[in-house]
Amino acid sequence: MLHHLDHLVLTVSDLEATTRFYSDVLGLEVRTFGDGRTALHGPGWKINLHEAAAPIAPHAAAPTPGSADLCFIVDRALDDVVRVLAGADVPVELGPVDRTGSSGPLRSVYVRDPDGNLVELSVQV
């Protein structure tokens, strides 16, 4: 019945810090929609951002900054990703390590966004 993921929602404590991280470091496009809401766009999907101080209804039962664990497939070599992260002063928490994704084996590094969400950046191997 399900076909693909359209969007997900991250609850954030600091909208500016979050948009800087995901746009400046990871390359997502920041767009404003609706009545001033903010989204981060990737190829064929988006992440809507809800500020913890003013969650938008309906929302998760317990919207909490830092409670997400996300995995993104990157479009470049993992060594290049690590260099970009280092240049942005984003420490790699773990990796490179081997993992299993929805389509098979991955090689991944893990970082944290400004709210402490775990962000896995992976190449398919």
- Residues annotated as part of the active site: 120
Which residue carries 């003013």 as its tokens? 54
Which amino acid, residue 63? P
Burial classification of residue 52, based on how many CB atoms lie within 10 Å of its CB (0-12 exposed, 13-18 middle, 19 or more buried): middle
Q: Residue 122's closest CA among 68, 83, 74?
A: 74
Complete DSSP assignment for 34-92: TTTEEEEEETTEEEEEEETTSPPSS--SS--TT--EEEEE-SS-HHHHHHHHHHTT---
